[in-house]
Chains A and B, each alone.
Chain A
Amino acid sequence: DTGVSQNPRHKITKRGQNVTFRCDPISEHNRLYWYRQTLGQGPEFLTYFQNEAQLEKSRLLSDRFSAERPKGSFSTLEIQRTEQGDSAMYLCASSLSPIGGQETQYFGPGTRLLVL
């Protein structure tokens, strides 16, 4: 399977614990995105990498959230001191910088987080 992969697919944790999610983009894609989706809402942008550089962070991404893409390939999203409000689906997407034309993002299956 050469699509975007995410691990784990599900995570249940207790409030106050730290969690880390991993995203492996499509191999030739240089752009990587993290989104969060809650029930009944569309995905909301969290952060964006071009290669290893983190170029934008949403104000939704509090100090407890950190994302890295150290070698410009896979990325990790860490949430420290989780809160019940962090319960959501965390989606990763990747794309190739367009040379003219539109950029299309391809999504991974997501990591569903439940904070008890």
Chain B
Amino acid sequence: RKEVEQDPGPFNVPEGATVAFNCTYSNSASQSFFWYRQDCRKEPKLLMSVYSSGNEDGRFTAQLNRASQYISLLIRDSKLSDSATYLCVVAGTYKYIFGTGTRLKVLA
């Protein structure tokens, strides 16, 4: 079993739609959680950290469920510019473990 698992997609959604991605992790001792965004042939860029209480940044909402060992990302009112790969990251004291990424394509 992979340490961090994501549905690779692709998720094809129309502009304005709401889309949600989930990610599960196997190490219950994991301490930090993130969502990174990666555009084609570019480096990963931090989208948001994920906190136990859940957190929101504009159209993006992240949730953490430690009991079930999953994190989620919700994107509301999708824009064409949201098209990218979304990488789930789980970390211990320093090392990042990435999921394979979920591809999102927002269609006009």
Contacts of A62 in B (CB 8 A): none
CA of A112 to CA of B87 in the docked complex: distance in angstroms?
A: 19
B94 to chain A, nearest CB (A): 6
| A interface: dominant SS | strand
Q: Identify which of residues 23-46 in chain B touch chain A, using a CB-to-CB cut-off of 8 Å.
A: 31-32, 34, 41-46
State whether A41 and B100 are in contact (beta carbons under 8 Å apart), knowing that A104-B49, A109-B43 are contacts in the complex. Answer: yes
Q: Identify which of residues 82-97 in chain A touch chain B, using a CB-to-CB cut-off of 8 Å.
A: 91, 93, 95
B97 within 8 A of A: yes
Q: Identify which of residues 89-108 in chain B touch chain A, using a CB-to-CB cut-off of 8 Å.
A: 91, 94-101
Q: 1/0 contact trace for A5-44 toward B, CB 8 Å? A: 0000000000000000000000000010101000011111
Q: Which bucket holds chain B's interface residue count? A: 20 to 34
Q: Which bucket holds chain A's interface residue count? A: 20 to 34
State whether A42 and B95 are in contact (beta carbons under 8 Å apart), knowing that A104-B34, A106-B46 are contacts in the complex. Answer: no
B37 to chain A, nearest CB (A): 11
The interface centre, meaning the residue of B46, B95, B99 with most chain A CB atoms within 10 A of its CB, is: B95
Our count of residue pairs bridging A and B at CB distance below 8 angstroms stands at 52
Contacts of B96 in A (CB 8 A): 33, 35, 43, 45, 93, 105
B23 to chain A, nearest CB (A): 11
State whether A45 and B97 are in contact (beta carbons under 8 Å apart), knowing that A91-B43, A102-B32, A103-B91 are contacts in the complex. Answer: yes
Q: Look across to chain B and name the residue whose beta carbon is closest to the beta carbon of A92.
A: B43
Given contacts A45-B95, A109-B43, 11 further A-B contacts (CB under 8 A): A33-B96, A35-B96, A42-B98, A42-B99, A43-B96, A45-B96, A48-B94, A103-B32, A107-B44, A108-B43, A112-B41
Binding site for B on A (CB under 8 A): 31, 33, 35, 40-45, 48, 56, 91, 93, 95, 102-110, 112
